[in-house]
Chains A and B, each alone.
Chain A
Amino acid sequence: MEKYLPNFKKCIQKEPPFCTAECPFHLDIIDFIEKIKTARFNAAYKLYKNAVGFPEIAASLCHAPCKNVCPITNNPIELNLLEHAVIENAGIKEPTDYNLPKRKQKIAIIGAGISGMSCALRLSTKRYDVSVFEKIDRIGGELWDIVDPEIFRKEFDLQFRHLSCEINLQTEIRSLDELKDFDAVYVATGKGGSDFGLLQKHLDKPCFMQEDTGIFAGGSILGKEKIYAQADGLKMATTIDNFLRTGNLIYTPDPKGTNTILDKERLIITTRVTPANKSSYTEEEAISEADRCLKCQCDACRLYCDLTEYERKWPLRIRDEIQATTLPGFSEVKATPAKRLISACTQCGLCVETCPKDIDIGGLILEARKSMHRQDKLAWVFNEFWLRDMDFTNGPMAGLVKGSPGSNELCKFAFFPGCQLGAGEPDLVIKSYQYLLDREKSTGLILGCCGIPAEWAGNDDKLNEEISRINTAWQTLGKPTFVLACPTCANHLKKYLPDIPCVFLYEIMDKEGISFSGNSLPVKEYPGTYSVFDPCSTRGNRALRESVRAIAQKAGYKLKPLVHQEKYSSCCSYGGQGSIADPGFAKFVREKRIKESDYPYICYCINCRDSFVEEGKSAFHILDLLFGNKPSNPTVTKRRENRIFLKETILKDFWGEEMEEKKKSYSFRLFVNEDLKKKISNDRILEEDVMEVLEFCERTGRTVYNKNTGVFSGYNMVGHMTLWIEYLKKNDESFELVNAYTHRMEIELEDVWNGEKVKHEK
């Protein structure tokens, strides 16, 4: 996991947007805009007031430096107009009268200009004993020249309404020695005002100690004018407050700039809303202007990664949750917030490809799965179904490794269709193999799984077993080039068996044409316009993506591209096999993909096709279209039967051999109606497992009987799962299944029952 952690530290999601970084007050503009957008003008006003102290004055003084950095360059967001709109439309402007205890410390502020008054406001709000000293007979200083006095005098009255602050007019301070009784002094004497010799003595620092008094300087006297003087007064108030609380004189200069990045996809150029009355926005105008804001903070992950979007979490939080979850120890002593998240990820890899800082959430998640597996803390149920499926595919009933038919010689090519194509559409595998043999006689066949379910389950030992099984098959066949039909197999083999040369069936079809055993393909059963859906595993393989489009077009199908799919092809939901861990997330992903186009999809990964068909979307495998095959949606049981059928048929048709392995036979028959077959398939219950449980129940008599309905119920374990069946007994050889269901908890039977030792039958 260590490999993935350093990049997380580079995450820039929390960096301020360009405008906030430039704002003299560092106003949280994203929040401000959000409040305006939702017409919460009171809340927006409060936020603004907390940032600037005197809203009316700030709005009048501000020259909107934010507009210079807004990425909508010719039409920057009119923040200044928005500020005025907020002030005009806020119903409640009365400051809150907080009931806070008085503080003993005394603070002197020299100069009643905007900087001094801002500092006085903030410190009196905190209930310090504040005295302002102004040498002339009015407050406001420089404001008199730049803002309508009506505005700032009213604003001072309003904001100081509940505060006590002593203002000493016509009181000139000639030396700081006069203020020895004060704990802190803020020198804000303004442009050309007295600096009491401080500027020469303490050139670099705006604050220092003089005997027991903390001396602070700010505003125009330091060259910070107008709006910056106002901001400086507030900042110094915070510095003084910190000093008086802690005794430490710490001045932190404002952070400069921002490292935020705006994704190009997010830059939507819009035109500013012009106020109808030429000078100020109405409520509606303000809302539509706020609506233009792009909220420039890096959110590449949320934009592209389905998991961060679904979970509404940022990478740093995901990292923290994963680290907590994978720590040794059990949940009684620590939190395990990411257990489901770890198993839900589709492993599509889009996170690292779209993150400007190369943060690889998927990589971290895969390592977390491995860590959880090693600690035996991964819920078995998340992966057991897939691992059993893989074992079956590679097992004697479905797995096959054969050299080219009619020859014992080693072969140049070997067709490796992957585990799911034959499960869904055995006919497509048979026809594709025929197509390949038509072109190259020296083509062998490997029926089996590439082993990726073991990787997705975080099980390294199992993964190594699978990899060495494929490697052995490859060596046995004379190191042929693999002809692949599944892009996920391709990526997996490239990662773990890079020596195996691979080519895609579709690339061959593009080059060699699509005629087939004398017939000219395609069988045009489904004319129309389609969108090619690129699987997530093809992102790095442009040649493949183009070859599929080329054969679809050669076959006469019209194509309409999906907006993002080619460059940022995303997962159909099958990847990572997280649909048991988080069915809600899998559905979210499928629905999102389906919405990308109304046209039927052409897929070239059978898992994409199956995921979409399952969700009710019209989708075809490219081979469906070429060979005129109607996409089916087989039950989990049928998928196994299809694999057996495939092995049986292909052995007979191409090698003239009978399959040695025979399906297990039972001494009874079980009738299951079609609706029930679908229902139990949705729960991933295999009919052969039902047969096993029935066989157990009948053999042992371990059932219960419902006197009203005549239904027997019994259970047995299938792997870790407890499978219950309910059935009617017609006679000793014939049964009808009424229902089947599972639970994940195990029933632990006692070794001693009623004082007698019990032998548990298996």
Chain B
Amino acid sequence: MAKKLNTKNNKEDFAKIDENDAGTIVCTKCNVSMEPIDVTFKYLKRSFRHKVLRCSKCGQVYVPEDLAKGRMAEVEAALEEK
């Protein structure tokens, strides 16, 4: 499943969410707009990188609820069976 995350389709899924929020979401600390940047996720001894909204200055991450409860939850469930 970790591999599946990196397929083209899934990248598009993640990017779609990013574009909706990009521009309106700013990093409180640095006051700059968040951009889609790779972040490392780790779960049950596996890690993988994926683009989500981040502050280019300080690296702050933003994971919206629909991503956490949608695609991420699916991948989590799959990893729990591995």
Contact = CB atoms under 8 A, between A and B. Distances in A.
A702 B26 contact: no
A667 interface: no
B7 interface: no
B63 A724 contact: yes
B28 A704 contact: yes
Contacts of B58: 753, 758
Nearest to B33: A707
Interface in B32-82: 34, 39-45, 47, 53, 55-65, 68-69, 72-73, 75-76, 79-82
A276 interface: no
Interface string B8-28: 000000000000010011111
Contacts, number: 100
Interface of B: 21, 24-29, 34, 39-45, 47, 53, 55-65, 68-69, 72-73, 75-76, 79-82
Q: Which of B25, B34, B44 has the most CB of A within 10 A?
A: B44
A745 B26 contact: no
Contact of B59 (A379, A742, A746, A749): A749
B46 to A, nearest CB: 9
Contact of A340 (B39, B61, B80): B80
A56 to B, nearest CB: 52
A674 interface: no
B39 to A, nearest CB: 6
A702 B47 contact: no
Instruction: Please report whether the interface of chain B is mostly helix, strand, loop or mixed according to DSSP.
Output: mixed
A442 interface: no
A339 to B, nearest CB: 5
Given A743-B68, A744-B76, A747-B61, A340 B81 contact: yes
A741 interface: yes
Nearest to B48: A745
A259 interface: no
Nearest to B52: A747
Contact of A746 (B41, B65, B81): B41
Contacts of A750: 40, 59
Interface in A311-350: 330-331, 336-337, 339-340
A747 B59 contact: no
A739 to B, nearest CB: 6
A381 interface: yes
Contact of A704 (B41, B42, B60): B60
A745 B42 contact: yes
A702 B59 CA distance: 10
A741 B47 contact: no
Contact of A331 (B21, B63, B64, B82): B82
Contact of A741 (B53, B60, B68, B79): B68
Interface of A: 330-331, 336-337, 339-340, 379-382, 581, 701-708, 712-713, 715, 722, 724, 726, 739, 741-750, 753-754, 758
A745 B43 contact: yes
Q: Which of A705, A708, A712 has the most CB of B within 10 A?
A: A705
A336 B42 CA distance: 20
Nearest to A720: B43
A707 B24 contact: yes
A705 B59 contact: no
B69 A741 contact: yes
A715 to B, nearest CB: 7
A321 to B, nearest CB: 11
29 contacts: A336-B82, A339-B80, A340-B81, A381-B80, A581-B80, A702-B28, A703-B60, A704-B26, A704-B28, A704-B62, A705-B26, A705-B28, A707-B24, A713-B62, A713-B64, A724-B63, A741-B68, A743-B73, A744-B43, A745-B43, A746-B41, A746-B42, A746-B43, A747-B41, A748-B40, A749-B59, A753-B58, A754-B57, A758-B59
A420 to B, nearest CB: 26
A371 B43 CA distance: 20
B28 A712 contact: yes
A523 to B, nearest CB: 44
Q: Which of B39, B57, B68 has the most CB of A within 10 A?
A: B68
